[in-house]
Amino acid sequence: MSLFCLIPAAIRSGALAALVLAWLVWPTNTYSSEQQTAILLVAHPAVTTSWLNRDTTRAIFAMRQRTWPDGESVQVFVLPNRDPVHARFTKEQLAAYPHQLQLAWDRMVFSGMGQAPNRVSNQLDMREKVANTPGALGYLEREYIDESVHVISME
Amino acid sequence: MSFQWSEGVSLARMRTALAWLGLLVFSPFAPAWANDSVFDTLQVHGFLSQALVITDDNNFFGKSSENAGSLEYTEVGLNASLRPHANILVAAQLLSRRAGGDTRDAIPTLDYGVVDYQVVSNQQRTLGLQLGRFKNPFGLYNQTRDMAFTRPSILLPQSIYFDRTRSLGMAGDGASLYHEERTQAGVVRFQAGVGKARVEDDVDLALGLNRFPGTLQAGSSAIGQVRFEDNNGRFLMALSTASANADYEGSQPPLDNGSFQFQPWVFSLQYNHERWSLTSEYALRTVELDGFNPAIDQKKTGESWYLQYTRRVDSDWQWLLRFDRLINDRNDRSGSTYEQSGLGPAHSQFADDITVGVQWTPRPNLMVAGEYHHVDGTGWLPLDSDANASAKSRHWNMLLFQLSVRF
């Protein structure tokens, strides 16, 4: 009987030690982004809002806020999770990682607190959808921006 | 090329069929649906998970210790939502869940069904109100606890997210208020709800009242959560509390019509890095039975906590290491007083669980997971109405595999 009690204790302390070790030893890479073009927030041309602060932008992209500050319904557009532009946008502008944002959407969608964003397959598609959907909000690299969309400045 | 799960059912035919279904469910809103753009906001999502549970001793979710294990852990969910107006969301989800027990358990039930109205929505704050059956914001995982993709492991830490009195913690029928305030330091979110608790047969069983003819009738319940996230999205802190009440009716001697009260507190902490997360939650649970008879009346406080490390190897693979501890009664941590009183074995009053798990998500809509639990104690082992607690083994091991899909 005493032997049975000892084994789990040993495993337990071993597991805790491993946990601490994993935390301390394993490298945590941060990827330095090279010189890349800026990613800007873009909206449907009829949207009256001209700037958003970062927290509001995060709340809208996390699907927790459903309207523009003036009360108009917002339609969120995003690129696929694995698109490098999406990854850069979430990290640089939203201070989140794509997997965290996906988790935030799942938590909204499967708890009745919100809806999922609209997906677009690439930046050309993004520009077309944002330009043609009232209340649309998305993001584009500077070189994809033209007069069909309205650039929103971020605080 | 990659499958877009959020567009999984944008097929026109499916949309029309579901719109009709939605129309039946949400008919009070029908007049607002005159234009097509409302239908454009309709979203339908769902998930399905099937697990295989293998144990050496003790049964968990079916006869897991016999033959090749148990397949009696299945979760299926289907939800629909739409926005009839800029600041109104209507959403409902049906859930079918079998976790051992009778096949009748798999009959779909309304998991949530709400009308959500965002009263204030500007650059400084969001304030909203939910009416209907809302999911309780309890700890970090409760609101979506049945959806595998939102869990770090197949089983959530059982010390806090145990199954025994699951119906109590799931949802309330009433009203809930939420408020998000953006400050210099970060975002503070507050949510509070009042309503009627859901009390189903699991509570009767957990309290040992199932052998008597009476039934527990759901009383009032209240829940509240305050949550803070820093500006970098790295640090998250939450405090949740709830109070659920039920009254016993139809008692016969030796029982009187008593009342039952459940009051848990959970403190949650999480630190997120790009490649790893460290999560811990600590809970105190007070259970009170009053007015039944002196032998049954009791008040005790249980304690639960876990420490969990998850690491993302790459975008497809993630592994997890966790230590989880449950104590049923803080005044009797080893369960020895319980055993001496002749109520049952000491090991039914605690459980220490060491878990190692892995998740593989080759596509956004597909996940395969596996995990191993080494458990000392039977404190959160699901109760069967015919189970004999002393026949259970104190030390046991469990292996789980799960396949999950969603759209």
Higher pLDDT, B206 or A60: A60
The answer to the question of residue A69 being in a domain is yes
Mutate to test the interface with B, among A109, A126, A132, A153 (most CBs of B within 10 A): A109
Cβ distance B74 to B98 under 8 Å?
yes
Q: Looking at the domain assignment, is residue A11 inside a domain?
A: no
Residue A118 placed within a domain:
yes
Structural domain containing residue A51: 39-154
Indicate if the pLDDT at residue B403 is higher than 80: yes
User: A77 to chain B nearest CA, in Å?
Assistant: 11
Give the range of the structural domain holding residue B56, as residue numbers without chain letter.
Answer: 5-406
Closest CB from A67, A97, A117 relative to B274: A97
Query: Do the domain assignments include residue A10?
Result: no
**By the 8 A CB rule, do B281 and B252 touch?**
no
Number of Cβ atoms within 10 Å of the Cβ of B66: 11
- Give residue A122's Cα distance to chain centre: 16
For residue B231, give the nearest of A67, A95, A106 by CB distance.
A95
User: Which pLDDT score is estimated for A31?
Assistant: 46
Inspect the interface and report whether the beta carbons of A15 and B354 lie closer than 8 Å. yes
| Residue A155: other Cβ atoms inside 10 A | 10
CATH number of the domain residue B319 falls in = 2.40.160.10
d(CA A51, CA B289): 56
Check residues B211 and B228 and name the one with the higher pLDDT.
B228
Return the percentage of chain B with pLDDT > 70, whole number.
86
B39 pLDDT band, cuts 50/70/90, is: confident
Instruction: Give the highest mean pLDDT range of A57-61, B255-259, B386-390.
Output: A57-61
Strands B317-327 and B186-197: unpaired
Lowest mean pLDDT among B39-43, B244-248, B281-285, B337-341: B244-248
Q: Is A55's CB within 8 Å of B323's CB? A: no
Among all residues of chain A, which has the CA nearest to that of B396? A8
Please give the Cα distance from A88 to B2 (Å, whole number): 19
CB spacing of A69 vs B123 below 8 angstroms: yes
B positions 232-271 inside 8 Å of A (CB) = 232-233
What average pLDDT does range B249-276 have in this prediction? 86
Residue B27 has pLDDT above 60, yes or no: no
Report the pLDDT averaged over residues B224-250: 90
Strand partners, A21: none
DSSP code for B198: P
H runs (alpha helix) in A112-154 = 123-132
Cβ contacts of residue A133 below 8 Å, gap of 6+? A44, A75, A77, A118
Q: Is residue A31 part of a domain?
A: no
| B304-350 residue pLDDT tens | 999 999 999 998 999 999 999 999 999 999 999 999 988 889 999 99
- The CATH number linked to A60 is 3.40.190.10
Output the pLDDT for position A136.
97
Edge-to-edge strand ranges of the sheet holding A51-52? A51-52, A150-154, A39-43, A136-141, A75-78, A118-119
What's chain A's average pLDDT?
A: 85
Q: Among partner residues A106, A114, A116, which is closest to B150 by beta-carbon distance?
A: A106
Tokens of B239: 């405090």
Query: Looking at the 3D structure of chain A, how many domains does it have?
Result: 1
pLDDT band with cut points at 50, 70 and 90 for residue B143:
very high
Q: Considering the domain boundaries, does residue A108 fall inside one?
A: yes
Residue A24 lies in a domain: no
What is the pLDDT, as a whole number, of residue A24? 53
Q: Distance (Å, rounded) from C-alpha A38 to C-alpha B231? A: 21
**Shortest alpha-carbon distance between residue A97 and chain B (Å):** 7
Q: Where is average pLDDT lowest: A8-12, A141-145, B182-186, B395-399?
A: A8-12
Asked if B67 is an interface residue toward chain A (Cβ–Cβ < 8 A), one would say: no
Render pLDDT for B81-119 as a digit per residue (tens, 0 to 9). 999 999 999 999 999 999 987 888 889 999 999 999 999
Running DSSP on this structure, what letter comes out for residue A134? T
**Interfacial A residues in 125-154 facing B (CB < 8 Å):** none
For residues B304 and B298, the model is more confident at: B304
Mean predicted confidence (pLDDT) in B209-224: 79
Task: State residue B329's pLDDT score.
Answer: 94
Rounded CA separation B210/B32 (Å): 47
Q: Are B296 and B258 in contact (CB under 8 A)?
A: yes
Task: Name the more confident of B166 and B144.
Answer: B144
Identify the H or E element spanning A8: helix A2-25
Residue B24: how many other CB atoms lie within 10 Å = 8
Query: Considering only CA atoms, which of B136, B394, B119 is closest in space to residue A1?
Result: B394
How confident is residue B220, by pLDDT bands cut at 50, 70 and 90? confident
How many independent structural domains does chain B possess? 1
ipTM of this complex prediction, to 2 decimal places: 0.86
- Spatial neighbors of A109 by CB under 8 A, at least 6 apart, are A63, A115, A116, B43, B45, B79, B81
Cβ pair B86:A67 closer than 8 A: yes
